[in-house]
Amino acid sequence: MENYIGKNGLTWFIGVVEDRMDPEKLGRVRVRCLGHHSPDKLDIPTEHLPWSTVMAPTTNPSMNGLGSTPPFLVEGSWVTGFFIDQFKQECIIVGSLPGYNAPSENSKNKDGFKDPGAIYPRANSDLIDTNKLARGNHAKAHDSLMTRENNKITDIPKATKPKLSTVESMVEDPRKTWDELDPKSNTFSVYPYNHVTESESGHVTEVDDSPGGERLMNYHRTGTFDEIHPDGSKVTKIVGSEYEITLKDKNVLIEGVCNITIAGACRQLIKGDYILEVEGNYTEKIHKNHYVKIGAGESGGNEAFEILGNRTGNITKNDNIRVAQNKEMVCNGNHNYQLNGDYSQTTMKDYSLTTSGISSIQSTKNISIISVSEDCSIKAGGKMNIRSDQKLDMHSESATIDISANNKLGRINLN
């Protein structure tokens, strides 16, 4: 082979990208080359410039879409490369050239070597092509850092314990708060240790190796970001909605304290068993109503609990309980019941009260025992005393009153 690239040397050039909208989507760009193309676009319009292939680094295989594609060159980028044919129609770009920018007042004219769209270099940007985030104190003026500083959230409230003063001696649990960490932990990036990648719309990635300020940061132009701070702490902030899906198991370990504050509603649906084990105290503080339904499924469900210590409670208003079937309660000790208002009990069937000790009914007012439609029996296995401090009336709606003592002669003493 007598003709091949480089046999007679390479013709190098420096030029400016004027078009990157490759119709073949191969990542090619049109470049106006200094000394080879006229600066007057009336002589050589942008659309007549040849397409140049952009050389990729060895980290890009340039095969089947692998690696980072397409190349990141914009209109107005200064590049260097070489021609691979004698007619200077086939070009290869080997790199871009950073430097100082002087935005033109009007690049939409007949002059070449500029961005035809008058976008780059941006009017509000620095003259230096190195990103502000990578240049020490200049980082303070970068939009991503200013947005994070201005939108930092502080005084996020933590949950508090309930004070059960009516049943237990508990001190008031004061409300405490926590704050979002300061961006960069208030450290400074030192040139040239912060390696910054920024997209056209404002997405930013930082790999900061600054001594004492080593960080990793991914930032979305809307303000969503995650940042790993120099001490290993991580902040994830999402300004929109978040969706997380795990198709298999998930294991989470938190060795410190976990604070969760939800400003809106929270719903949990657990389609399997739910197991909660608390090795310390478990408290709930509910500011409004509490609703619980057990057995909401088709087969119903039971509730079982075991308390190995005491149970205390206080209800400031009504307590309404309905049992559709049987109710049983076993108390192995004393049962003390104090009622400060009226007591009413209705039994639709039989009522039985059995005590193995002394039974006493005492009232400071009247006591009535009434059987509306059938007999009423009062019996004592031993001596029965009926005594009244005032008049004692015995009245029967029938004609007679029978008094007997096991078919033996009885006696009534009237004093």
Angle at 220 between CA 216 and CA 222, to 5 degrees: 140
Indicate the range of 45-54, 248-257, 310-319 predicted with least confidence: 310-319
- Which pLDDT score, from 0 to 100, does residue 404 have? 66
Nearest CA among 82, 197, 64 for reference residue 130: 197
b/e 362-401 (16+ beta carbons within 10 angstroms → b): eeeeeeeeeeeeeeeeeeeeeeeeeeeeeeeeeeeeeeee
Instruction: Assess whether pLDDT exceeds 90 at residue 357.
Output: no
> Taking a C-beta distance cutoff of 8 angstroms, is the pair 152, 275 a contact?
no
- Which pLDDT score, from 0 to 100, does residue 295 have? 92
Boundaries of every domain in the chain: 11-96, 132-237
Residue indicated by tokens 């192995």: 332
Per the model's pLDDT, the better-predicted residue between 392 and 239 turns out to be 239
> What CATH architecture does domain 132-237 belong to?
Roll (3.10)
- Mean pLDDT estimate for the chain: 89
CA 192 vs CA 28, 136, 142, 267: distances in Å:
30, 9, 17, 48
Strand segments, DSSP code E, in 42-198 are 51-54, 78-83, 91-96, 156-157, 177-178, 194-198
CA distance 93 to 83: 9
Reported as a single tens digit per residue, the pLDDT across 127-152 is 789 999 999 989 999 999 999 999 99
Strand segments, DSSP code E, in 76-153 are 78-83, 91-96
Per the model's pLDDT, the better-predicted residue between 370 and 334 turns out to be 334
Confidence of residue 400 (pLDDT cuts 50, 70, 90): low
Instruction: Assess whether pLDDT exceeds 80 at residue 4.
Output: no
**Domain 11-96 sits in CATH 3.40.50.720:** no
State in Å, rounded, how far the first CA of the chain is from the last one: 151
- Which pLDDT score, from 0 to 100, does residue 337 have? 87
b/e 93-110 (16+ beta carbons within 10 angstroms → b): beebeeeebebbeebeee
CA distance 226 to 237: 6
Reported as a single tens digit per residue, the pLDDT across 159-168 is 999 998 888 8
> Taking a C-beta distance cutoff of 8 angstroms, is the pair 31, 15 a contact?
yes
Tokens for 325, please give them: 């079937």
Residue indicated by tokens 């059987």: 371
**Half-sphere CA count of 221, side-chain side, radius 13 A:** 7
Across the range 107-123, mean pLDDT stands at 81
- Which pLDDT score, from 0 to 100, does residue 106 have? 54
- Which pLDDT score, from 0 to 100, does residue 405 have? 61
Angle at 17 between CA 15 and CA 23, to 5 degrees: 135
Residue indicated by tokens 């132009």: 221
Reported as a single tens digit per residue, the pLDDT across 8-30 is 778 999 999 999 999 999 999 99
Instruction: Assess whether pLDDT exceeds 70 at residue 107.
Output: no
Instruction: Assess whether pLDDT exceeds 60 at residue 200.
Output: yes
